[in-house]
């Protein structure tokens, strides 16, 4: 009988907190859509608690792990249906990975808190690799993604996630569910990737650019926040049905798309 390799201690430098609550692990696997024959990509499997639950549900799992100690442990376990990829999640080409796996992968994972924002932005850019994204993140980040127009929590990630996905909260998770316990609460959310943006979008890069500019200077009115970033911001704002006196957090996703389209049209006219 194969001996179970010991679990290496968590590394603070990697933002590691290992989920040990079996009830929560089961709820995450269910929310992520684990099922017989389902292709799934797990980011940050750590010692493999969630990985085991996904495999037990009959899923095939590709697991991306940056910590060589955890990679060695998972490979030593020899679980059928598991492929372990040693890589930085921020450096993976997800569309290429999915193509090699035979098609889109349902993504699931306990994202390291220290890279969750940049990693979520990357996943949104490469969203065609995933029909769904189910992740545990710091509750504050989850609240930003879910934030509605006019709220203080609303940011660029809110707009982009709501443009490309349908989002729902799955559950909140307290520090006691982890080893070692983090100092913050966590939240699991699921993002179902839409077949098309929430409104017709002429140029995706234009949307990313105007959203980044608007929230990069969020205390300013949009006509000032976009100055120097887009040509004739006042005309673009008017074309989108705005006065220019609005601030970034006031706009819903559809309005941001209209503004991006106005910028695209302005550039095409030059």
Which single residue is written with the structure tokens 């990357």?
122
- How many CB atoms within 10 Å of residue 118? 12
At 3 the pLDDT is 66
At 10 the pLDDT is 81
203 has pLDDT over 80: yes
Confidence label for 112 from pLDDT (cuts 50, 70 and 90): confident
The span from the first CA to the last CA of the chain, in angstroms, equals 71
Q: What are phi and psi of 188, to 5 degrees?
A: -100, 130
Please tell me which residue, 49 or 268, carries the higher pLDDT value: 49
Confidence label for 1 from pLDDT (cuts 50, 70 and 90): very low
Alpha helix (H) ranges present in 102-217?
116-125, 139-146, 156-164, 204-216
DSSP 61: E
Confidence label for 231 from pLDDT (cuts 50, 70 and 90): confident
Residues forming CATH 3.40.50.150 domain(s) in the chain: 12-193
CA distance 89 to 55: 21
CATH architecture of 12-193: 3-Layer(aba) Sandwich (3.40)
Residues forming CATH 1.10.8.100 domain(s) in the chain: 204-269
Bridge-partner residues for 166, per DSSP?
A: 192
Q: Tell me what the pLDDT averaged over the chain comes to.
A: 94
At 254 the pLDDT is 98
Average pLDDT over residues 203-220: 95
In percent, the amount of the chain with pLDDT more than 90 equals 86
Q: Measured between alpha carbons, how far is residue 132 from residues 41, 73, 87, 196, 270 in Å?
A: 10, 28, 21, 14, 39
Say if residues 184 and 240 touch (Cβ distance below 8 Å): no
At 92 the pLDDT is 98
Task: Take residue 245 and report the two structure tokens written for it.
Answer: 């006196």
CA distance 215 to 17: 30
Distance of CA 116 to the CA centre of its chain: 7
| Strand 132-138 to 106-110 pairing | parallel
Residues 17-52: pLDDT tens digits? 899 999 999 999 999 999 999 999 999 999 999 999
161 has pLDDT over 50: yes
270 has pLDDT over 80: no
DSSP 4: P
Average pLDDT over residues 171-198: 95
CA distance 258 to 214: 14
Bridge-partner residues for 178, per DSSP?
A: 19
At 28 the pLDDT is 98
CATH architecture of 204-269: Orthogonal Bundle (1.10)
At 226 the pLDDT is 94
269 has pLDDT over 80: no
256 has pLDDT over 90: yes
């Amino acid at each position: 009988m194969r001996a179970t390799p010991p679990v290496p201690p968590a590394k603070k430098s990697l933002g590691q907190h290992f989920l040990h609550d079996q009830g929560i692990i089961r709820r995450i696997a269910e929310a992520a859509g684990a099922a017989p024959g389902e292709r799934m990509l797990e980011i940050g499997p750590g010692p493999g608690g969630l990985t085991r639950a996904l495999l037990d549900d009959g899923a095939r799992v590709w697991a991306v792990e940056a910590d060589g100690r955890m990679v060695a442990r998972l490979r030593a376990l020899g679980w059928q249906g598991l492929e372990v990829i040693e890589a930085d999640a921020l450096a993976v080409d997800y569309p290429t990975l999915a193509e090699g796996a035979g098609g889109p992968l349902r993504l699931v994972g306990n994202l390291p808190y220290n890279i969750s924002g940049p990693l979520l932005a990357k996943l949104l850019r490469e969203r065609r690799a995933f029909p769904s994204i189910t992740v545990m993140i710091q509750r504050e980040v989850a609240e930003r993604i879910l934030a509605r127009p006019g709220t203080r929590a609303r940011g660029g990630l809110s707009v982009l996630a709501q443009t490309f996905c349908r989002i729902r909260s799955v559950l909140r998770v307290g520090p006691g569910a982890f080893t070692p316990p983090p100092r913050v609460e966590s939240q699991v959310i699921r993002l179902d990737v839409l077949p098309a943006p929430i409104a017709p979008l002429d140029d995706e890069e234009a949307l990313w650019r105007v959203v980044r500019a608007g929230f990069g200077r969020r205390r300013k009115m949009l006509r000032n926040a976009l100055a120097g970033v887009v040509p004739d911001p006042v005309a673009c704002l008017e074309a989108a049905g705005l006065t220019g006196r609005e601030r970034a957090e006031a706009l819903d996703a559809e309005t941001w798309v209209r503004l991006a389209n106005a910028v695209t049209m302005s550039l095409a006219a030059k």
